[in-house]
Structure 1
Amino acid sequence: MSLNPSEDLLHTVDSVKRIEQRAMQQMGLTSCDFMRQAASAILTELLDEFGRPEGLTIFCGSGSNAGDGYMLAEFAANDAIPVQVFELGAVDTLSPSVAQARLAALKSPAQLSVYSQSMQISAGIVIDALIGTGLRGSLKEWYRQAIRQINDCDFPVVAIDVPSGLDGDTGNVPDDAVIADLTITFIAPKQGLFTGRGPVCCGVVVWHSLNVPPEAYGAQPPSVYRMKLPALLEQLPLRPRDAHKAQFGHVMVIGGDIGFGGAAIMAAQASVRTGAGLVSMATRPEHVPPMLARQPEVMAVGVVSGQELQPLLKRSNVLVIGPGLGQSAWSEQLLQKAFDTRLPMVVDADALNILASGRVVSDPTKAQWIMTPHPGEAARLLDISVREVEANRFAAVRKLHEKYSAVVVLKGVGSLVTCDTLGGVSVCPYGNPGMASGGMGDILSGVIGALLAQGLTLHGAAELGCCLHSYAADMASQQYGEHGLAATDLLTFIRGQLNNRDFLDELDE
């Protein structure tokens, strides 16, 4: 069985290397042949993206990434483009294929020089061919200096395969890393380009298969896939003419301790705007009037104890618990009653913090949960540091899934969602820095809860909710800008996506 390559099927670095080796055997090619193909693809992409440059400054290390850089130097210089190559690798330690690529560059009009920090980047486009996928531990000092010089320059920066200093498997940057405007990656997209620091370092990512045949991918299934909103929206059918509210579920939002009423209110509003048939909110009594003033369609009830909450739980078929819940005795009582129902639920915010502390007991193996932690909450749930979570977001989200038997949405740049196929994880390609504001997570939990209520699976609701939420933020920022983007600004755009799907053709391009 073969799996056709796709820009949405992501692989680990080792997986890509195995695909490359299999392709070389099947096609009768060498490493140098692949370097030539990569260099040709890079030059074509540069000309298409930037036009004919005044010159290229290529930073070369000592691994196969440098081989691509040397080949590019030869191709560009022979095309009458001025090329200077700054060499950081020890020439006498180059592999035979990289040495052959270097010899080709030496025979061309390109100018090769041993790198020193005093060298100037004069004009044109800067090419990062320093490390690529070969990152191993801390950077050598002269590599660190070169990366900082690249980042300080005023010219477009293009990274070959993976920006140097970025871990292609995790999206982590353990030291310094190149911040590229464009990253041209080969054979298969690497999973670390799309989460954590990956999107910051990569800029626009372009993938070239280098004509690797589909059969070469068959023995190496992808580890992660990128979600696509158009495909996910197909899970939510258009409503029939004779629809009634009972068909679209009843979401109950539980939260809003003293001083945190807004979080629960926003989650309830999001459930309304995402199409739940009925929405209730159980909160502190003082938060009922503002809820009714803000969204009278929500059936808001004040409760002062878990005992008062218990009979209300029978009304709903989906719970959203955690927005503004707090960590008081009141919070713990409400959470325990919610867990006891075994209803499908979205568990967020302080519900996660209480769960991590062990103050509320539940059997996750019998639960139907979607957990939506940010990195800080994930760290508490796993009893590790935030730095450890961010060092390998893929590992963290899988550990959460294993520990709590839940579908997990690990929020952040390139939010991750656990699933049961293709390596168990998907990544959201949407979102922007404007989302770094209070209340965004509350809106997300309300969106996911509404999708659950409308009949989607736990996994389907988590993926679609994540993409609806992030793409709504992209639409809002395109219209109004990222600065000052408020969580409730997303509601109009979420509703718009659900009701006007013409934009899906644009997303599929």
Structure 2
Amino acid sequence: MTYSKFPISKLPEPLFTSQQVREGEKALAQSLEIELYTLMERAGTATFELIQASFVDARHVLVCCGKGNNGGDGYVVARLALLSGYQVTVWQIGDSESLRGDAARAKNNFLSKGGVIGSPKNTVPDDVDIIVDALLGTGICGEVRPFFSYLFDRLNQSKRPIISIDTPSGLNPDTGAITGNAIKANKTITFIGVKQGLVTGRARAFTGELYFAGLGIATTFNQRCQSSATLTAENWITYLPARNKDSHKGSFGKLLVVGGGEGMSGAAYLASAAALRAGGGLVATLAHESSLTPIRCLLPEAMVTEHTSLSLRDKSKWCSALAIGVGLGRTSWSANVFQQTLALASTLSLPMVIDADGLYWLAKSDTASVLSSNHILTPHPGEAAHLLNCQINNIESNRFEAIRAIQNTYGGVIVLKGAGTLVYDGKNMTVCHAGNPGMATGGMGDVLTGTILSQLGQGKSLMQAAILGTLIHSMAADHEALENGEVGMLASDLLNKIRLICNYDMS
């Protein structure tokens, strides 16, 4: 028996808050004269189809149901599995008689087909093939209670594959934060609109593979509801235009990298090389005297010069965009270079990327007097915490709120790095769909800076450059991981892959 009326599809680009989806679902059901129970049936059907497609040898399904509508979805799955010949075990949290409305209706329909409801055990039965998490869904509020936390541990430790319905229980669907403890799903299927918290921060480690089913109303929902953010897609790379046949090196930007303090030549090299690999025409690098020879040896294509007041002034007038901070350091030399560069860039209205130690010095500066709005900041969570004078956990507890606070304080475009990198310009929020844990190595941020700088130099707006640079960088890392694995990935491994992505043919 198969159920194919409401198919699972690739993730759509619009993202929403859980409140938007919850309220939109009710309003649409009313206006389209669709029972909410019908949508519950469709959600359960899509989930069961995912089980059938993903676990073809599974014969025993454990469905864990909560007391809300997420539990009702679980009972639909349990009934469909029972009718298809699966062995079905249901664990109900709390008294099943306390279920109300559509959840109670789904439970009764399961019972009418011969289903049996049980209570959670200390261990998952040995012959269970797959677990369905229908415990809390998007209804999480505050810290997970001890009993649920204990149950989550038992399910996670069972090593059985887990499919979470709508949201892994314990995960905040709006922020991606974990409220004490959570189900670590192998697959998550979400409905009607993708919740923004499922694609960034810690959620990336708990959702597993993410699937979407629109339940027959997603198109209308998207037309009526303004998204809270946008998820990138691979085909966005098509925004990189084909080159004219009469192009020359001056056609693709004159890029300036300022950094490479004493003993930190590698960062300036990586940023400069990435700027060229991402399509930049000319790159000049200003660095500390001790860093000149290493950079010149590694990258003869760059014009590498010692940083002085005169060289900075000349190259600032020459370039079309600059980056400051990669390997800059935190010495008196570094402080002087940063202040001079910031002042010149502001005077000349140069588009600028500020990263790494540049963010350190920025946090110590009087930003109101030295910073224009023509810049991109690229902090990781630690640097973001420094910019806002708070703790890293404050950043990661709500990455959307944190990036808004940074942008409100410093202006420009902000790239908040991490799993599911966020890009925000004060109006529009974008989440990068690509990237992998192999990127957690030194120098990755320097490569990103150069990639973004390259897009600025080629005429992209601040927001376009930030988004495309982030996407190219993350897709390059994914290609590298696919080819050679995640463990042992170096920042320099991405350089050739960046070139590959920039020449990607989506036709």
Correspondence for 2:392? 386
Correspondence for 1:346? 353
Alpha-carbon displacement from aligned partner over 1:150-194 (angstroms, at most 9, x marks no partner): 111132110000000111001111211111111111111111110
The sequence identity of aligned pairs, in percent, is 36
Q: Contact (CA 8 Å) 1:11, 1:223: kept in 2 or not? A: yes
**C-alpha distance in 2 between matches for 1:227 and 1:410:** 15
Alpha-carbon displacement from aligned partner over 1:329-360 (angstroms, at most 9, x marks no partner): 21121111221222111000011011112377
Q: Contact (CA 8 Å) 2:140, 2:172: kept in 1 or not? A: yes
**C-alpha distance in 2 between matches for 1:287 and 1:180:** 47
Q: Contact (CA 8 Å) 2:254, 2:318: kept in 1 or not? A: yes
Alpha-carbon shift at residue 109 of structure 1 (Å): 2.8
Report the number of matched residues: 494
Three-state SS of the structure 2 residue aligned to 1:69 is: helix
Q: Does 1:466 align with 2:470?
A: yes
Q: 2:373 aligns with which of 362, 367, 371?
A: 367
Decide whether aligned partners of structure 1 residues 390 and 456 sit closer, same or farther in structure 2, where only a CA change above 3 A counts: same
**AA partner of residue 39 (structure 1):** G
**C-alpha distance in 1 between matches for 2:47 and 2:311:** 65
**C-alpha distance in 2 between matches for 1:137 and 1:299:** 55
Decide whether aligned partners of structure 1 residues 361 and 292 sit closer, same or farther in structure 2, where only a CA change above 3 A counts: farther
Question: Where does structure 2 lack aligned partners over 5 or more consecutive residues?
Answer: 1-9
Correspondence for 1:44? 49
Q: 2:319 aligns with which of 310, 316, 321?
A: 316
Correspondence for 2:438? 434
Alpha-carbon shift at residue 403 of structure 1 (Å): 1.4
Decide whether aligned partners of structure 1 residues 118 and 483 sit closer, same or farther in structure 2, where only a CA change above 3 A counts: closer
Q: 1:425 aligns with which of 426, 429, 440?
A: 429
**C-alpha distance in 2 between matches for 1:425 and 1:213:** 21
Correspondence for 2:181? 176
Q: Contact (CA 8 Å) 2:262, 2:289: kept in 1 or not? A: no
Q: Does 1:408 align with 2:427?
A: no
Q: 1:57 aligns with which of 56, 62, 83?
A: 62
Three-state SS of the structure 1 residue aligned to 2:257 is: strand
85-94 or 331-340: bigger deviation: 85-94
Correspondence for 2:6? none
* 1:81-480 alignment, distance < 5 Å: 81-118=86-123, 120=125, 122-212=127-217, 214-231=219-236, 233-303=237-307, 305-306=308-309, 309-340=312-343, 341-342=345-346, 343-358=350-365, 362-364=369-371, 366-419=372-425, 424-480=428-484
Decide whether aligned partners of structure 1 residues 213 and 464 sit closer, same or farther in structure 2, where only a CA change above 3 A counts: closer
Alpha-carbon shift at residue 111 of structure 1 (Å): 2.6
Q: Contact (CA 8 Å) 1:276, 1:454: kept in 2 or not? A: yes
Correspondence for 2:71? 66
Q: Contact (CA 8 Å) 1:417, 1:463: kept in 2 or not? A: yes
Alpha-carbon shift at residue 418 of structure 1 (Å): 0.9
Q: Contact (CA 8 Å) 1:184, 1:205: kept in 2 or not? A: yes
**AA partner of residue 434 (structure 2):** Y
Alpha-carbon shift at residue 210 of structure 1 (Å): 0.8
Alpha-carbon shift at residue 26 of structure 1 (Å): 2.0
Alpha-carbon displacement from aligned partner over 1:104-139 (angstroms, at most 9, x marks no partner): 222223331122325535322100001010111111
Correspondence for 2:7? none
Decide whether aligned partners of structure 1 residues 175 and 399 sit closer, same or farther in structure 2, where only a CA change above 3 A counts: same
Three-state SS of the structure 1 residue aligned to 2:225 is: coil
**C-alpha distance in 1 between matches for 2:191 and 2:66:** 18
Decide whether aligned partners of structure 1 residues 6 and 316 sit closer, same or farther in structure 2, where only a CA change above 3 A counts: same
Alpha-carbon shift at residue 323 of structure 1 (Å): 0.4
Alpha-carbon shift at residue 367 of structure 1 (Å): 3.1
Q: 1:481 aligns with which of 468, 485, 503?
A: 485
**C-alpha distance in 1 between matches for 2:439 and 2:365:** 30
Three-state SS of the structure 2 residue aligned to 1:301 is: strand
73-82 or 214-223: bigger deviation: 214-223
Q: 1:492 aligns with which of 496, 501, 505?
A: 496
Q: Contact (CA 8 Å) 1:252, 1:281: kept in 2 or not? A: yes
Decide whether aligned partners of structure 1 residues 383 and 81 sit closer, same or farther in structure 2, where only a CA change above 3 A counts: same
Three-state SS of the structure 1 residue aligned to 2:205 is: helix
Alpha-carbon displacement from aligned partner over 1:193-240 (angstroms, at most 9, x marks no partner): 100011211111111111116334433211111112422x33332211
Decide whether aligned partners of structure 1 residues 361 and 398 sit closer, same or farther in structure 2, where only a CA change above 3 A counts: closer
Alpha-carbon shift at residue 25 of structure 1 (Å): 0.4
Correspondence for 2:4? none
429-438 or 121-130: bigger deviation: 121-130
72-81 or 383-392: bigger deviation: 72-81
**C-alpha distance in 2 between matches for 1:285 and 1:213:** 58
Alpha-carbon displacement from aligned partner over 1:291-343 (angstroms, at most 9, x marks no partner): 1111111111112x546533332221211101001122211211112212221
Q: Contact (CA 8 Å) 1:60, 1:89: kept in 2 or not? A: no
Q: Contact (CA 8 Å) 2:407, 2:425: kept in 1 or not? A: no
Decide whether aligned partners of structure 1 residues 420 and 235 sit closer, same or farther in structure 2, where only a CA change above 3 A counts: farther
Decide whether aligned partners of structure 1 residues 459 and 403 sit closer, same or farther in structure 2, where only a CA change above 3 A counts: same
**C-alpha distance in 1 between matches for 2:445 and 2:392:** 18
Three-state SS of the structure 1 residue aligned to 2:122 is: coil
**C-alpha distance in 2 between matches for 1:34 and 1:333:** 62
Alpha-carbon displacement from aligned partner over 1:422-454 (angstroms, at most 9, x marks no partner): xx2111111111101000000000111111111
